[in-house]
Structure 1
Amino acid sequence: MKFGKEFASQMVPEWQRAYMDYNKLKGILKEILQIKQQRNPAMAATPEGGLKRKMTMYRAFSGLTRRYSSKQRSEKGESGEEQVILVNAVERGEEGEGKVSGSSYETMFLMSSDVGGEYEVIFFKRLDEEFNKVNRFYKANVEEMMNEANSLNRQMDALIAFRLRVENPHHPTAFNWSPPIPTMPTTPATPGKAAARMDAIQEVEMSSEGYSAEGNEEDETGINVTNPTSNASNNSHQEIEKKSKKISSTPSPLQVLEHVKINISLETPRSTLKGMLMDSNHKELSFSKEELRKAEGQLKKAFIEFYQKLRLLKSYSFLNLLAFSKIMKKYDKITLRTASRPYLNMVDNSYLGSSDEVTRLLQRVEDTFIKHFSNSNRSKGINTLRPTAKREKHRITFFLGFFSGCSISLLVALILIVRAHKIIDKQGSTTYMKTMFPLYSLFGFIVLHMLMYAANIYFWRHYRVNYPFIFGFKQGTELGYREVFLLSTALAVLALAGVLANLDMEIDTETKDYKILTELVPLGLVTFVLLVTFCPFNIIYRSSRLFLLQCAFHCICAPLYKVTLPDFFLADQLTSQVQAIRSLQFYICYYGWGDFKLREEKCTNSNVYHAFLFIVALIPYWARFLQCVRRTFEEKDVMQAYNGLKYFATIIAVIMRTAYDVEKGMGWRVLAAITSAIAAVVSTYWDLVHDWGLLQRTSKNRWLRDKLLISHKSVYFTAMVLNILLRFAWVQSVFGFQVSFMHRNALTTTVACLEILRRGMWNFFRLENEHLNNVGKYRAFKSVPLPFNYDEDEDKDE
């Protein structure tokens, strides 16, 4: 693989604009090469780089190679090479939003009078711009990491004191700062926990000298990153006196608990209800083990996320340094000059090339995490901080091909059997379409949605949309399109096999009943799928199943849980699966009332069934509406209120359409048409403008947006037109359009499938817009709430 492609593949997607523009610089070098070849035809006939090698060989054998005289060496530089460029550092104050004051670098090209020299001047100008951009971005992020390290250090101070207070409430240091006598714990504990507890006690006892003094060095309680600064040679006596005074006035590290409160993050129903009843967002410490466990869990997540940030930043530095080295070597190769050495020396001496803060922070975070969160087990701690990359497995490819072939074969067999036996023309076909078809259509909806999701993942990866970060998947556990496609084809095989088993429409002449074994096949399939979904064992992608169930539970319990993107994204998917949820309702009705014995649908005429038609259809829209309500009050965002009104309008439209399906009548039809039209227009506008970010008049891409991942603009216009058409698919149900060769249930299922296809298309552009927003703000990390809040932090917030 060429370096340009490898460089692009290893970029942090949200930082693409901050990397060196390798392709642009490479394009300038190609222009320089073309100009040199046009003005010097002999160079065009010689392969690139071949001329330099041949000239070197001729010089070696002709005696032209000799040492330069002192005068020539002074003209060409210390190394005896001809001086091509001069690189100067210029101090520029660029303080402001997103900018950091510091040195900028300017390169002076000394041979602009040569052939193509004006293009080489442009090359070095662009090269300086790229390097200064990279250097400033790296320095700004390193400073941000240092500030976050200091914050984590204070959190560790509080956690160690808190841990000591909870696990050793009768220890002398918990109340008095007189030098205690080390004692072994009286309660039995594992060696790792006992060692960690004794280390915590010793750390608190030994850190009093440097707890609040200026310039305290790194201790083992955290990741303090400040460096000691002393001038002992000038006034050592004064510093000793100052230090002694500070030590005498330094409070006990345990006294930090007097200035710390627990952060209450409203993420669960319990914390939400407590937050509504309490005036403050913080509460006093009660020193319970439950609080300690939650604080340790939060801080552990914060350390893991911080470590990932440092690794990405280190990778950013390495990749850019390699890119500058590659482009300068390419420049030397094309122009036959020796400018790479002085420029790369400047790069090595710059902040980007010489700073080692990130490397030192990585080591300190590892030591702290291993000691305090892994019971001093290094392998366990490193495995947590550096999860292994997910490897592609050959058995997935094998089973994917196997189930795909089986599903296609079963589908072809089903079509041939129906046509050969002329099942559609038989008397029982109408009964089959009213009873068995709605049962199996549930699997069709699920399989189609999974196939669309697999296609979404494929195109997200193709266009480098960082969907694992956006959804918040744990690294290494996210499913790829192959895994999702495998699950969908496996489910399709089960469903098609069940359909073939139920094709016998003959009634037993003696009992006038259908075969109970075959009639229970759909219920058995649903039971099997539910058992696999809720299976607690580590089989069939357990982490992904648990993540899905957690998000679904958050949707059901809205607005008691904090709304995250996976939660409302799943709720949006459920709004497109209303017909599938109604199929589940029909399962309960069909098998609960015993209609499956005679393939009847008597239960569908009951008032209870009709009432649940309303309730079931409103569940996903109501959950989405409540999520918008919570985000409106929590984020103070008026756009969420408007979004909630959109879903409320959809709720009214669904009620009217369901009422028309149950009651019929011209009045209900008019109300259903008016409310559905209003909801469709509002939803379509919201899809295109807010969810997809399109239809921007002032955009560089007319009626689209400034940044587009797909180069063909026609794709976006086609998607907008399809979204509008599919949004109005409800017209069929309201105005009763029928197709002569399709049963009413088949037509309803087809319309529901069109909505699933629309949702799959919506998914791609919705996540594309979210990804571009993250890219615009260089947002590549999750914000993890910290467990403790200091009093001075509260004052700053006020």
Structure 2
Amino acid sequence: MMNKVDIHKRSIRTREKRTTVKKGFQKRFRISGTKKTDLFFFFARLVKMKFGKELASQIVPEWQGAYMDYNNLKKLLKHILRFRQQNGVTSSGHRASPKRRVTMYRAFSGLTNRYNNFRAGSPRKNDDEVILVGSVQQEDSENCYQTMFLRSSDAGGEHELVFFKALDDEFNKVLKFYKEKVREVKGEAEELSKQMEALIALRIKVDEPGVEQKFTSESSSGYSRPATVVAPKPGSRMEVIHEVEMSSEGTSGDEPIRTENRKINTGGFKPTSLDVLGRVTLNVDPETPVSTLRNIITSSKSELSFSREELRKVEEQLRQAFAQFYQQLRFLKSYCFLNMLAFSKIMKKYDKITSRNASRSYLDMVEKSYLGSSEELNKLIERLEATFIKHFANGNRRNGMKSLRPKRKKERHRTTFLLGLFTGCSIALVIAIIVTIHARKLLDHQGREQYMEAIFPLYSLFGYIFLHMLMYGANTYFWKRYSVNYPFIFGFKPGTELGFREIFLVTSGLSVLALAAALSNLDMEMDERTARFQMLTELVPLGLVALVLLITFCPFNIIYRSSRYFLIRCSWHCLFAPLYKVSLPDFFLADQLTSEVQAIRCIQFYVCYYTLGDFTKRSVTFLENRTYEIFIIIVAVIPYLSRVLQCLRRFFEEKDKSQGANSLKYFSTVVALVFRSIYDIRRIPFWRILATSSSGVTTIFNTYWDVVIDWGLLQRNSKNPWLRDKLLVSNKAVYFVAIVVNILLRLVWMQLVLDIEDAPFLHKRAMVALVACLEILRRGIWNFFRLENEHLNNVGKYRAFKHVPLPFHYADEKIM
């Protein structure tokens, strides 16, 4: 047993070792500061977790095909290990004798190690050399690295040849991808530099309108140079900018800037030329329907107006562009770090299995290659940080880095606790409602028919919303499990996206409110003491709707405000579909609304119930009104018309023929829905023929589009027969089951037009609600595979970042 002194010494050695490792990582990857960094945390987790799993959790999902295939190389090493174990191959590559171990035949060195001392300066032959690594020039003028294995004649050498061939392929793949990405970010950096020059000139023009520059044109040289710059007023924002600029060019930051003479001493400071403003226009991104209509009449680019509002929008756009570009640089740096660490790990595993010393030669090559020796990315990150801090944080590094680095989402235990509490309360309320119905025999009550016609539609609205949120929470869980990058696809602000726990928490909270209101309504109606308060009893559902709307539009930063505002913004874009640029969250939400037709009709029922009839007597005579019947049709087709307009706008903007076909699909659904609704009201054979034929056509059209276009399945020549080349779910039967279920649930859509008799134990209202719930379930299944296909498309094109539109458009490519 170890004593306290030994334990203390061991803890000191462990602490020193961790400090050395941390300093090494900080030196290699230029990690500044004493605060623990993400890379060090990553290295610390490697001690407790297998590297393969940690690598899979740290990679950029859209770049997963560009990372080193660590698992495949591990399999090749297992083949080598299995061969050596089965054939008794030793470290020297020869088969071991079954009688005695090789170590028993080693030369005896003596008890005093007298033969272990070699003479100084004696030549020693490098007999343990295993591999030779060199670069080879390819036809496309790109260098690739090849490894020559010098022990191929040893037993099992053919397996090691296969390993090094695969290792070279992986390294060349990583190196090529890294070079391409560095080349891309350098081009983006040049574009941002142009934007910054225009921004600084715009700031000078807006903040100091009296600032003028006189230029002497030199036709022979073809350029203009500034002659005189009037100094900004003391205390203005531009004075701070000039001060930061001068300090960055080498002047002392402690010396005050003198501006009494209204002339800036340009020694050590190069003022920005304002002539750049004459060669740029604004890229106007329509934010409102009015601006969209204005751009249709005029142009998408406008001249500078030099207003403060214009400057604010330009600064906000560039701030977002810098933050997005910084994230791209960080991911690229992490890509370099993870791959270098992966090559180090796999080579050490090779040395351990084969008892060779090949890792040193190979890792030296990795260090000397562009992947390990290039400092362009680190310099670009440093310059970007300095530029952002200087121009967007007034020199405050803490605020600047806080804006650049995304906020990490914090997991809170109270979320899980409240989820369990609300779930338990929901189950208890459901049991209480069932007991109340059976105890008071409400199913046989004479007011049952009136209750189903008047009250059931009011509460079924929350049932539809609850089921849809439940399916979305389940989708979120499976997206995260199968590494679908849904926050990036939907465009959520980093750190604000809701996980499945938060979604289930909101869902369970809504269920508690709805079930408590339904139970209180039943209790108040049946209790003799509260039966006379008829108006109060009937206002309970309306109060519940008012409470939900109040929470949804609450301006305070509570109950996931950013997500609520994101939903409101996307809903607004869907309402005015052709007047906003269509993004994936917009048309994805519009698709969800097409499955909530009955919920939208419930909202119409709410409005008519509490305004047109006598709700205290549960009067629903408005159901037979001709105007109400017309609005039933109009309200049902609104989500589909929104999708038609979205597809048409994308068709004209993107010139994508598939969007034109998609618009026809939704238009056929609108026609079928109109005929169905008319037949449901009139019950005339002529309308039944139209409804049946149109519903059949749109069902076939929609089913084909779901499976083939949206999911990307049923590809005849794919690696996975009748599916697609890449699948996230390993069990292929899941996809075939999803296809069959989608077809069956699509056929349920035709239940009304086929005159299928309702179940005798279900009311007509309950049957309609059941069909609507099945459509919501189908939409939940569709959501998972639709986003899986979108994620795989992004992976195939390495799209890991959103394109942020830049504010300025240059008339020419050259700046100066």
Residue in structure 2 matched with residue 240 of structure 1 by the alignment: none
Give percent identity, aligned residues only: 57
Sort the Cα spacing of 1:252 and 1:538 in 2 relative to 1 into closer, same or farther, 3 A: closer
Between stretches 280-289 and 530-539, larger displacement belongs to 280-289
Given the alignment of the two structures, is residue 555 of structure 1 paired with residue 599 of structure 2, yes or no?
Answer: no
Distance 1:57 1:519 in 2: 100
Given the alignment of the two structures, is residue 149 of structure 1 paired with residue 195 of structure 2, yes or no?
Answer: no
Sort the Cα spacing of 1:62 and 1:692 in 2 relative to 1 into closer, same or farther, 3 A: farther
| 1:533-561 CA distance string (max 9 Å, x none) | 01111000000001110000000011000
Amino acid at match of 2:385: E
Distance 2:653 2:532 in 1: 58
Distance 1:483 1:366 in 2: 34
Work out whether residues 268 and 562 of structure 1, in 8 Å CA contact, stay in contact via their aligned partners in 2: no
Amino acid at match of 2:79: E
Work out whether residues 138 and 317 of structure 1, in 8 Å CA contact, stay in contact via their aligned partners in 2: yes
| 1:130-189 CA distance string (max 9 Å, x none) | 001001100110011011101100110111111111221211338786654663426x65
Residue in structure 2 matched with residue 235 of structure 1 by the alignment: none
2:507 alignment partner, one of 488, 503, 506: 488
Given the alignment of the two structures, is residue 287 of structure 1 paired with residue 335 of structure 2, yes or no?
Answer: no
2:411 alignment partner, one of 392, 408, 423: 392
2:136 alignment partner, one of 71, 82, 90: 90
TM-score norm. by structure 1 comes to 0.87
Sort the Cα spacing of 1:56 and 1:258 in 2 relative to 1 into closer, same or farther, 3 A: farther
Distance 1:167 1:370 in 2: 20
Q: Secondary structure at the match of 1:728?
A: helix
How far the C-alpha of 1:284 sits from its partner, in A, is 2.3
| 1:597-627 CA distance string (max 9 Å, x none) | 0122122222222121112111111111100
Residue in structure 2 matched with residue 360 of structure 1 by the alignment: 379
Residue in structure 2 matched with residue 213 of structure 1 by the alignment: none
- How many residues end up aligned between the 2 structures? 733
Q: Secondary structure at the match of 2:809?
A: strand
Work out whether residues 77 and 350 of structure 2, in 8 Å CA contact, stay in contact via their aligned partners in 1: yes
How far the C-alpha of 1:504 sits from its partner, in A, is 4.5
Residue in structure 1 matched with residue 208 of structure 2 by the alignment: 168
Residue in structure 1 matched with residue 323 of structure 2 by the alignment: 304
How far the C-alpha of 1:594 sits from its partner, in A, is 4.4
How far the C-alpha of 1:69 sits from its partner, in A, is 8.4
1:126 alignment partner, one of 166, 178, 195: 166
Work out whether residues 212 and 230 of structure 2, in 8 Å CA contact, stay in contact via their aligned partners in 1: no
Work out whether residues 164 and 200 of structure 1, in 8 Å CA contact, stay in contact via their aligned partners in 2: no
Distance 1:68 1:675 in 2: 96
Residue in structure 1 matched with residue 5 of structure 2 by the alignment: none
Given the alignment of the two structures, is residue 339 of structure 1 paired with residue 358 of structure 2, yes or no?
Answer: yes
Distance 1:54 1:289 in 2: 86
Q: Secondary structure at the match of 2:136?
A: strand
Residue in structure 1 matched with residue 18 of structure 2 by the alignment: none
Distance 1:712 1:418 in 2: 44
Sort the Cα spacing of 1:510 and 1:335 in 2 relative to 1 into closer, same or farther, 3 A: closer
Distance 1:200 1:335 in 2: 59
Work out whether residues 568 and 627 of structure 1, in 8 Å CA contact, stay in contact via their aligned partners in 2: yes
Work out whether residues 18 and 137 of structure 1, in 8 Å CA contact, stay in contact via their aligned partners in 2: yes
Given the alignment of the two structures, is residue 789 of structure 1 paired with residue 809 of structure 2, yes or no?
Answer: yes
| 1:681-706 CA distance string (max 9 Å, x none) | 11111101110001111111111111
Work out whether residues 214 and 228 of structure 2, in 8 Å CA contact, stay in contact via their aligned partners in 1: no
Residue in structure 1 matched with residue 242 of structure 2 by the alignment: 198
Amino acid at match of 2:211: H
Work out whether residues 459 and 518 of structure 2, in 8 Å CA contact, stay in contact via their aligned partners in 1: yes
Q: Secondary structure at the match of 1:89?
A: strand
Residue in structure 2 matched with residue 10 of structure 1 by the alignment: 58
How far the C-alpha of 1:364 sits from its partner, in A, is 1.0
Gaps of 5+ in 2: 1-48, 217-224, 251-269
Given the alignment of the two structures, is residue 564 of structure 1 paired with residue 583 of structure 2, yes or no?
Answer: yes
How far the C-alpha of 1:712 sits from its partner, in A, is 0.9
Work out whether residues 613 and 620 of structure 2, in 8 Å CA contact, stay in contact via their aligned partners in 1: no
1:74 alignment partner, one of 122, 125, 129: 125
What aligned pairs does 1:689-768 form with structure 2 within 5 A after superposition? Answer: 689-736=708-755, 737-768=757-788
Distance 2:188 2:362 in 1: 33
Work out whether residues 694 and 703 of structure 1, in 8 Å CA contact, stay in contact via their aligned partners in 2: yes
2:478 alignment partner, one of 459, 481, 484: 459
Q: Secondary structure at the match of 1:734?
A: coil
Sort the Cα spacing of 1:109 and 1:672 in 2 relative to 1 into closer, same or farther, 3 A: same
Sort the Cα spacing of 1:578 and 1:265 in 2 relative to 1 into closer, same or farther, 3 A: same
Residue in structure 2 matched with residue 273 of structure 1 by the alignment: 293
Sort the Cα spacing of 1:540 and 1:307 in 2 relative to 1 into closer, same or farther, 3 A: same
1:108 alignment partner, one of 145, 148, 158: 148
What aligned pairs does 1:569-580 form with structure 2 within 5 A after superposition? Answer: 569-580=588-599
Work out whether residues 344 and 363 of structure 2, in 8 Å CA contact, stay in contact via their aligned partners in 1: yes
Sort the Cα spacing of 1:429 and 1:339 in 2 relative to 1 into closer, same or farther, 3 A: same
Work out whether residues 595 and 603 of structure 1, in 8 Å CA contact, stay in contact via their aligned partners in 2: no
Distance 1:252 1:385 in 2: 25
Distance 2:105 2:630 in 1: 90
Sort the Cα spacing of 1:15 and 1:257 in 2 relative to 1 into closer, same or farther, 3 A: same
Distance 1:170 1:365 in 2: 31
Distance 2:653 2:754 in 1: 41
Distance 1:756 1:57 in 2: 78
| 1:247-304 CA distance string (max 9 Å, x none) | xxx99721112221111334542332122112x4322222222222221111111111
Distance 2:814 2:681 in 1: 57
How far the C-alpha of 1:102 sits from its partner, in A, is 2.8
Residue in structure 2 matched with residue 241 of structure 1 by the alignment: none
Q: Secondary structure at the match of 2:282?
A: strand
Work out whether residues 232 and 239 of structure 2, in 8 Å CA contact, stay in contact via their aligned partners in 1: no
Distance 2:307 2:645 in 1: 33
| 1:98-132 CA distance string (max 9 Å, x none) | xxx43211111111122211111111111011001
Gaps of 5+ in 1: 77-81, 95-100, 208-249
Work out whether residues 196 and 372 of structure 1, in 8 Å CA contact, stay in contact via their aligned partners in 2: no
Sort the Cα spacing of 1:5 and 1:68 in 2 relative to 1 into closer, same or farther, 3 A: farther
Amino acid at match of 1:778: Y
Residue in structure 1 matched with residue 540 of structure 2 by the alignment: 521
Sort the Cα spacing of 1:536 and 1:118 in 2 relative to 1 into closer, same or farther, 3 A: same
Residue in structure 1 matched with residue 85 of structure 2 by the alignment: 37
Amino acid at match of 1:26: K
Amino acid at match of 1:349: K
Work out whether residues 693 and 705 of structure 1, in 8 Å CA contact, stay in contact via their aligned partners in 2: yes
Given the alignment of the two structures, is residue 403 of structure 1 paired with residue 422 of structure 2, yes or no?
Answer: yes
Residue in structure 1 matched with residue 686 of structure 2 by the alignment: 667
Distance 1:318 1:624 in 2: 44
Q: Secondary structure at the match of 1:783?
A: coil
2:433 alignment partner, one of 393, 405, 414: 414
Q: Secondary structure at the match of 2:577?
A: coil
Q: Secondary structure at the match of 2:660?
A: helix
Amino acid at match of 1:479: L
Q: Secondary structure at the match of 1:299?
A: helix
How far the C-alpha of 1:388 sits from its partner, in A, is 2.7
| 1:291-348 CA distance string (max 9 Å, x none) | 2222111111111110000000000000000000000000010000110011000000
How far the C-alpha of 1:385 sits from its partner, in A, is 0.8
Between stretches 479-488 and 661-670, larger displacement belongs to 661-670
Sort the Cα spacing of 1:380 and 1:55 in 2 relative to 1 into closer, same or farther, 3 A: farther
Sort the Cα spacing of 1:59 and 1:179 in 2 relative to 1 into closer, same or farther, 3 A: farther
What aligned pairs does 1:602-641 form with structure 2 within 5 A after superposition? Answer: 602-641=621-660
Residue in structure 2 matched with residue 472 of structure 1 by the alignment: 491
How far the C-alpha of 1:673 sits from its partner, in A, is 1.1
| 1:619-678 CA distance string (max 9 Å, x none) | 111111100010000001111000001111011111111112222222222211111111
Between stretches 696-705 and 605-614, larger displacement belongs to 605-614
